[in-house]
């Protein structure tokens, strides 16, 4: 067994007990731990999803294929994967991932006693961002009887947690019809009915209309992409440049006593000083980090509210 397989075994051994105890079947076991193996490896039940960066030293296609072959073999051995249970996505120098498997591989996974539909093969992401598991728990613990707004909702994992808590209503906004349909499937899987509004819209445009209509929410989740096309300006949304305007527009809808969770995966991100001055902002990154992401690059998150909060956040 090689260096990669040994590390995978060691990491899995370290995390498996914790995951089992928490009822978690999807978790990260490797993220760029060894420079020679620039990979991410996530477990989804008895399957593994692997994102492979191309190494600079592999110049020819034959070298790349040899590396990927080694990766496949080491991972299959270390994790004792059955045939067809390894899903490999290959990243190119331009940052694009090539789809390795054309056939969709849908799976229903369980997290926190809830069910989520994931697709391990067709998209860059599976439908469930594993790093936000503790953030989802945080929402669940506070969403009972609350009006919850989930901006950039993707497949609605935050919405499902809020519904599980007994939220008074949820409103989920995303540009993508495909992701909203996926969210709908996730709600159906968990047999949640009630006031769950799914809105296909550009978030910034929708926030303007919501303010005009006097809509307001107790909990707002705002987890935008780093970049996105906006129909409003025909310009790219850039989280560094535009988060202040976005957050002010969203916070305008916050009800007294409510809070927003703002999160970004942009590396080196710093919250705008104007937001930090006008609102009470608590960095909850450490508090929203489970053991499988500890010490790894992942999201940064803030709890933003109108009430002064001091000290360290304790999410558990
Ligand atoms: C980073 S994902 C959000 C992840 C989600 N919060 C979660 O934890 O599952 C970004 C989402 O934003 C959506 N999106 C991108 N630009 C948008 C825009 N201008 N308005 C609405 N949704 C947008 C994408 O379709 C995608 O679903």
Burial class (CB in 10 A: 0-12, 13-18, 19+), 190: middle
pLDDT of residue 95: 54
pLDDT band, residue 5 (cuts 50/70/90): very high
Pocket mutation for ligand 1, best pick of 222, 225, 264 (most atoms within 8 Å of C-beta): 225
Average pLDDT estimate for 119-135: 95
pLDDT of residue 309: 47
Q: How many other CB atoms sit within 10 Å of the CB of residue 178?
A: 12
Ligand 1 atom with the shortest distance to the CA of 136: 8
Dihedral sign, CA of 281, 294, 133, 300? positive
Pocket (CB within 6 angstroms of ligand 1): 129, 132, 152, 154-155, 157-158, 173-176, 179, 202-203, 223, 225, 228, 230, 237
- Give CA separation, 305 vs 17, 80, 99, 254, 257, in Å: 36, 47, 41, 8, 8
Helix 239-251 with 203-213: angle, nearest 10 deg: 20
Q: Whose CA is nearest to atom 15 of ligand 1?
A: 228
Average pLDDT estimate for 110-136: 95
Average pLDDT estimate for 291-310: 86
- Closest by alpha carbon to 217, among 185, 262, 178, 169? 169
pTM of the model: 0.93
Same fold, 3-107 and 129-305: no
Q: Whose CA is nearest to atom 22 of ligand 1?
A: 174
Gap from CA of 92 to ligand 1 centroid (Å): 23
- Closest by alpha carbon to 271, among 287, 282, 259? 282
Both tokens assigned to 191 = 């047999």
What is the percent of the chain with per-residue pLDDT over 90, rounded to a whole number? 85
Q: Which residues contact 111 (CB under 8 A, 6 or more apart)?
A: 23, 24, 25, 26, 128, 133, 136
pLDDT of residue 80: 96
Gap from CA of 138 to ligand 1 centroid (Å): 20
* CATH domain 129-305 topology: Rossmann fold (3.40.50)
pLDDT of residue 93: 60
pLDDT of residue 314: 46
3-state secondary structure of 169: strand
Gap from CA of 153 to ligand 1 centroid (Å): 6
Ligand 1 atom with the shortest distance to the CA of 221: 6
Ligand 1 atom with the shortest distance to the CA of 231: 19
pLDDT tens for residues 128-179?
999 999 999 999 999 999 999 999 999 999 999 999 999 999 999 999 999 9
Gap from CA of 310 to ligand 1 centroid (Å): 30
Domain boundaries defined on the chain: 3-107, 129-305
Both tokens assigned to 121 = 């093969």
* CATH domain 3-107 topology: Transcription Regulator spoIIAA (3.30.750)
pLDDT of residue 88: 95
Gap from CA of 142 to ligand 1 centroid (Å): 23
Both tokens assigned to 3 = 């260096």
- Closest by alpha carbon to 262, among 6, 276, 316? 276
pLDDT tens for residues 266-283?
999 999 999 999 999 999
210 touches 199 (CB < 8 A): no
Gap from CA of 228 to ligand 1 centroid (Å): 9
């Amino acid at each position: 067994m090689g260096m990669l397989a040994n590390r995978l075994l060691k990491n899995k051994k370290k995390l498996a007990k914790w995951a089992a105890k928490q009822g978690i079947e999807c978790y990260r076991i490797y993220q760029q731990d060894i420079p020679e193996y620039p990979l991410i490896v996530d477990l989804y039940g008895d399957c593994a999803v692997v994102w492979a960066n191309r190494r600079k030293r592999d110049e020819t296609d034959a070298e790349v294929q040899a590396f990927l072959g080694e990766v496949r073999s080491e991972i299959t051995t270390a994790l004792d994967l059955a045939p067809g249970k390894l899903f490999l996505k290959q990243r190119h120098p331009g940052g694009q991932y090539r789809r390795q498997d054309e056939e969709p591989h849908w799976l229903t996974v369980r997290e926190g006693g809830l069910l989520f539909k994931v697709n391990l093969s067709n998209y860059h992401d599976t439908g469930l961002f594993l790093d936000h598991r503790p953030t989802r728990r945080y929402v669940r613990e506070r969403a009972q009887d609350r009006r919850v707004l989930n901006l950039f909702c993707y497949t609605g994992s935050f919405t499902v947690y809020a519904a599980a808590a007994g939220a008074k209503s949820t409103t989920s906004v995303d540009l993508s019809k495909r992701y909203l349909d996926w969210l709908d499937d996730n709600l159906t899987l968990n047999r949640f009915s009630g006031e769950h509004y799914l809105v296909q819209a550009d978030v910034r445009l929708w926030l303007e209309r919501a303010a005009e209509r006097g809509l307001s929410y107790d909990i707002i989740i705002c987890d935008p992409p780093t970049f996105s096309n906006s129909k409003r300006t025909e310009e790219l949304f850039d989280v560094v440049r535009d988060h202040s305007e976005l957050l002010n527009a969203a916070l305008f809808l916050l009800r007294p006593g409510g809070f927003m969770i703002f999160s970004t995966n942009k590396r080196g991100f710093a919250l705008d000083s104007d937001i930090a001055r006008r609102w009470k902002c608590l960095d909850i990154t450490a508090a929203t980090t489970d053991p499988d992401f500890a010490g790894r690059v992942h999201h940064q998150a803030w709890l933003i509210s109108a009430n002064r909060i001091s000290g360290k956040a304790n999410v558990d």
